């Protein structure tokens, strides 16, 4: 009966059956099933979800393991998944379709670079880095980012910061990224500020270069690295890069490398000496780095005490100057 009403509605209103079904709240598939007498469909009281149903044609556990073993063989490291499939099939190592082979490779994250090496691997294969900073010099972190130059060119900003104070301890802007320039930057920073206990970085070629490793080893600086493709393992450098690029005065493009260097110098000078950082109790990075935040806090407290004495009705409790920074770091929780 309901099907007849839907047909009448569609004819009288000059609309499609799909639209009529939508207006009456009946699924279109149900309409056709009832209207055309599809009596073979028997609803079940407790249907089994599709993902829990057993597929008779599915590979067994042993067959799935054969596929993974075939993909992980050393001679397949430089081959695509498709090439690995046909080679394995010709060698009688697998007995499945190409699509199934690829689906298993994707499920086990083997569709990318499968070569073994110091720079390769998934994030799960690397140890989650963890480092604490309770004082200036405990932990530095650094990275390299791109700054837009003229005519679709880019400059490289090398930047290292002290994690405890967020103070930029070293930076330089170059047209390219090299281990030599990174090493020179750190040797100069060590001469001015002293060497940190630990230096954390991403997995770039300059970061993992033997030249930089030798320079760090010479001054007993330990190294730490982020996991591949995990930006949260280097949050302090990433955060400062965003602060730089979102600054209201940041140009859309720099006219020249000298322009980029001058602007960055002015910004970092202003950031270190004038930016009241929320994670530092609203002290500046320079105050936290040089240890003058203690004097600043004392002066703040004296100002607040005078204000409370003059206008006690304005304060429900004695005002307190923000505390000094406490221990921070990478992946501490």
Q: What is the CATH number of the domain that holds 252?
A: 3.30.420.10
User: How many domains are there within the chain?
Assistant: 3
Q: Could you give the CA distance from residue 122 to residue 124 in angstroms, rounded to a whole number? A: 5
Read off the pLDDT band of 114 (50, 70, 90).
low
Residues 143 and 227 placed together within one structural domain of the fold:
yes
| 147 and 91 belong to one structural domain | no
Q: Both 218 and 99 in a single domain?
A: no
Q: What is the pTM of this model?
A: 0.64
Query: At 39, is the pLDDT very low, low, confident or very high (cuts 50, 70, 90)?
Result: low
Residue 36 has pLDDT above 80, yes or no: no
Q: What is the extent of the structural domain holding 263?
A: 131-280
Residue 294 belongs to a domain: no
Quote the pLDDT of residue 124: 47
Domain for residue 307, yes or no?
no
Task: Please report the pLDDT score of residue 187 as a whole number.
Answer: 97
Q: Which residue has the higher pLDDT, 139 or 97?
A: 139
Residue 164: name the closest of 194, 200, 134, 199 by CA: 134
Closest CA to 171 of 184, 158, 162: 158
Domain finish residue from 107, 142, 165: 107
User: Per-residue pLDDT for 29 more than 90?
Assistant: no
Query: Is residue 17 over pLDDT 90?
Result: no
Contacts of 56 (CB under 8 A, 6+ apart): none
**20 & 136 share domain:** no
pLDDT classification of 155: cutoffs 50, 70, 90? very high
In this prediction, residue 1 carries a pLDDT of 67
Q: What is the model's pLDDT at position 40?
A: 61
* pLDDT value at residue 225: 92
- 75 with 211, same domain: the answer is no
Instruction: Give the 3-state DSSP-derived string for 180-207, with helices as H, strands as E and coil as C.
Output: HHHHHHHHHHHHHHCCCCEEEECCCCCC
CA distances from residue 12 to 7, 34, 144 in whole angstroms, order as listed: 9, 21, 69
pLDDT in tens, 58-87: 888 888 888 988 888 888 887 888 888 888
Q: What is the pLDDT of residues 260-272, one digit of tens each?
A: 999 999 999 999 9
In contact, 222 and 198? CB cutoff 8 Å: yes
Evaluate whether 268 touches 262 at the Cβ level (below 8 Å): no
Question: To which residue do tokens 């060590």 refer?
Answer: 190
Of the listed ranges 110-114, 252-256, 300-304, the least confidently predicted one is: 110-114
pLDDT in tens, 192-216: 999 999 999 998 899 999 999 999 9
């Amino acid at each position: 009966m309901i099907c007849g009403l839907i047909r009448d509605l569609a004819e009288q209103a000059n609309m499609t059956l799909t639209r009529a079904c939508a207006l009456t709240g009946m699924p279109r598939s149900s309409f056709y099933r009832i209207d055309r007498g599809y009596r073979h469909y028997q609803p079940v009281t407790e249907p089994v979800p599709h993902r829990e149903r057993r597929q008779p044609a599915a590979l067994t556990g042993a067959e799935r393991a054969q596929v993974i073993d075939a993909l992980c063989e050393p001679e397949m490291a430089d081959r695509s998944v498709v090439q690995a499939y046909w080679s394995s099939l010709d060698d009688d190592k697998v007995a499945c379709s190409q699509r199934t082979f690829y689906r298993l490779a994707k499920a086990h994250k083997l569709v990318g670079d499968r070569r073994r090496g110091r720079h390769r691997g998934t994030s799960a294969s690397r140890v989650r880095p963890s480092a604490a900073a309770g004082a200036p010099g405990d932990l530095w972190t650094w990275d390299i980012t791109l700054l837009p130059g003229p005519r679709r060119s880019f400059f490289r900003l090398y930047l290292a910061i002290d994690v405890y104070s967020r103070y930029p301890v070293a930076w330089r802007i170059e047209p390219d990224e090299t281990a030599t320039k990174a090493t020179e930057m750190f040797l100069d920073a060590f001469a001015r500020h002293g060497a940190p206990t630990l230096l954390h970085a991403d997995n770039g070629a300059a970061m993992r270069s033997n030249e930089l490793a030798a320079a760090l080893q010479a001054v007993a600086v330990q190294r730490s690295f982020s996991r591949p493709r995990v930006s949260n393992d280097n949050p302090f450098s990433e955060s400062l890069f965003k602060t730089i690029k979102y600054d209201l005065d940041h140009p859309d493009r720099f006219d020249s490398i000298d322009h980029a260097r001058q602007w960055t110098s002015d910004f970092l000078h202003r950031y270190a000496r004038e930016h009241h950082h929320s994670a530092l109790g609203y002290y500046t990075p320079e105050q936290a780095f040089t240890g003058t935040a203690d004097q600043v806090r004392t002066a703040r407290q004296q100002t607040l005490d005078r204000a409370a004495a003059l206008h006690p009705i304005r304060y429900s409790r004695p005002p307190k100057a923000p505390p000094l920074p406490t221990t921070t770091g990478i992946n501490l929780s």
